[in-house]
Amino acid sequence: MGRLARAGAMVGVLVLTASLALTGCGDDQKKPAAAGGGQQGDPTATASTGPTGGPPPVDPAPLEVSPADGAARRPVSTEISAKIPGGGKVSKVVLAAANGRTVEGRPRRDGSSWVPSAPLKYGTRYTATVTATGTDGRTHEGTSTFTTMTKPKSMIGSGLYLFSDRTYGVAMPVVAEFSPGIPKKDRAAVQKRMFVQTDPPQPGAWHWLPNGTQAYYRAPEYWKPGTTLTVRLALAGIPLSNGRYGNVDRSATAKIGRAFEMKVDNATKRMTVYENGELVRTLPVSLGKKSTPSSSGTMVVMEKKESTVFDTRDDPDPDNRYVTEIDFAQRLTWGGEYIHAAPWSVTAQGHRNVSHGCVNVSTANARWLFAQTLIGDPVTVRGTERKLVPGNGWTAWSLSWPEFAAGSALPVPEGGDGPAF
């Protein structure tokens, strides 16, 4: 088992109908009942007539826009919503800064609000003009001018383990990271601002680690090869209950490559390698010895190093301290489990376990495997003495789908949630 500095740089999408209350991430909730009627005036007063002898014209009731007119110190994560008297559908939102520059945005799929495509500016005045068509066919309009807060001093760090214009394996989860962790009571609000779109469309859900430091997004099954993932963590300025605010928005658009899967069986001491469902190679392996067992579970390749050094001189067990040059290392856990070349254990590979927790293969097999894999390719290890610990690596696939979906801060429809837009 080797230890390296935690690599994987942290890098860091939008949708309106009646009586708009904030919701999120494509969560289809029932719309609240609309308040008030569709027209003003006394509906029984039919004696008066208009200029042409018919009923007098009635001005449509104005929209109640949120944020309210005159609102101050609004977060830069603010979304625009409106209530339509009698019900109806918002058809247009125009949001402009005091300098006249308009802000692009998109309505959520469920119609609950309109989300700016980038965080608003701190300490800036904005005017939102919302146009809607009521159920009676009349056009309603409402306007609100509000100001955003000044930049807060206390912020929470965030990261996105996904790079634009990269190709990943079919098990690559969307990984959001937070430092310090998100308090449990804030996770639903944060999750509403974490947008994932897939092309072709596939359902998915978020799952939070218990300490709130990471959240994973995945589908019920591995991503379809060729899928495009478009992700936006729209967290800049989002207020949290601990007095902190989100620091920045992070986004990425990445591609999923071919299906490539590695399965390791401790009973046979063999790794079977599949590409697009076809068995392409079987490799003898040596796993962790009894005192330092390998983890059983489904992991993903998180990092690749053609050459590196494992330095475990800080291990409390003297028998586990060493400094060794390693070739073709592929990280599976934060705790230091890798697939890597181990020429010193070739005679043990396929027969007995002698490693410190890593998956040992020959140099030739390690070189071949290294050339085939992508970050995000799944590796499943079975039959060892230790179970994979949640959060020790990108452990999104170590749970069944029902177990995974249960870790969402928002209700997940059966089969998984869809995109927010």
> Does 180 sit behind a cis peptide bond, omega within 30 degrees of 0 on the bond before it?
yes
Query: How far is Cα of residue 410 from the mean position of the Cα atoms in its chain?
Result: 13
Which sign does the torsion angle of CA 52, 53, 55, 59 carry?
Answer: positive
Q: Are 163 and 251 in contact (CB under 8 A)?
A: no
Choosing from 25, 140, 356, 358, the catalytic residue is 358
Cα–Cα distance measured from residue 23 to residue 334, given in angstroms and rounded to the nearest whole number: 34
Lookup result for tokens 């042409």: 52
- 340 given a catalytic annotation: yes
Q: Burial, 237: exposed, middle or buried (Cβ in 10 Å; 0-12, 13-18, 19+)?
A: buried
Helix (H) or strand (E) holding 405: helix 401-405
Which sign does the torsion angle of CA 290, 295, 297, 303 carry?
Answer: negative
Cα–Cα distance measured from residue 65 to residue 143, given in angstroms and rounded to the nearest whole number: 7
Strand partners, 311: 323
Q: Are 4 and 331 in contact (CB under 8 A)?
A: yes
In sequence order, what DSSP letters do the residues of 357-389 get, joined into one string?
SSEEE-HHHHHHHHHH--TT-EEEEES-SEEPP
Q: With b meaning 16 or more CB within 10 Å and e meaning fewer, what string describes 166-190?
A: bebbbbbbbbbbbeebbeeebbbbb
Lookup result for tokens 């586990």: 320
- Look at the chain and count its residues: 421
Choosing from 140, 207, 340, 356, the catalytic residue is 340
Please list the active-site residues.
340, 358
